[in-house]
Amino acid sequence: MRKFDVDVIVFDLDGTLIDSKLDIANALNWTLEKLGYPHLPVETIGAFVGNGVLPLIQRTLEAAGHLEKEEAMVSLFRQRYLDHLLDNTRLFDSVEETVNQLAGRYKLGLVSNKPERYTKKIVHELGIEPVFDGAVYGGDTIPVKKPDPQALLEIAEKYGSPVSRLLMVGDSAVDIKTGQNAGAYTVGVTYGFRPLKELADAGPDALIDRFSQLGTLLK
């Protein structure tokens, strides 16, 4: 088994640390209903998550066949989701224990394409904010989103580590591409929102089926 010798570990949020699929789907379906459109299945919406709010809305409206309502849907969804971020959202199994253990040995960061105010509220309310020592990036924290590597480069610089000693962990091809673009190691989690084939085809350095397995990959 390959072992990674790193100083910094950066995580994706949705589908990696948290199961947020139902709250996102509920907010989107509430918004669709407000606009007079039928609901979409939760699994369909889950497959749209990972690139930020605007691509999420665009893919949802494309599936619903109503692209002309983008502006109205973005506005309605943003507020509805902010008010219901944590109705059902939970950390995946072993995430809390594992990140707390890792925080004693490594510097940790988080990079999501979800807007910063949502991202920070979620990690705060779920009790894992302290392990990231302020290195929490949302999709609008800086002008670029994943797969642009800028957030990873900034986190490596914050911790005084070369990016070659950074590991990016996520559930999507976007996350893997972000790590590769930065010159970092990458690990894909197979339990997340994206199809396994998409994740594997992105070429991560390793795949894990449970979050707790991450520790076994580290020197």
Catalytic positions: 12
**Contact 178/147 with Cβ under 8 angstroms?**
yes
Which residues, other chains included, contact 143 with Cβ-Cβ below 8 Å and sequence gap of 6+?
A: none
Q: For residue 23, count other CB atoms closer than 10 A to its CB.
A: 21
What is the rounded distance in angstroms from the CA atom of residue 214 to the CA atom of residue 44?
Answer: 28
The residues pairing with 168 across neighbouring beta strands, listed in sequence order, are: 10, 186
CA-angle at 50, arms to 160 and 109, nearest 5°: 20
Three-state DSSP at 110 gives: strand
In terms of Cα–Cα distance, which of 53, 73, 62, 171 is closest to 119? 53
Three-state DSSP at 43 gives: helix
Three-state DSSP at 108 gives: strand
Dig out the tokens for 154 from the structure.
Answer: 């900034």
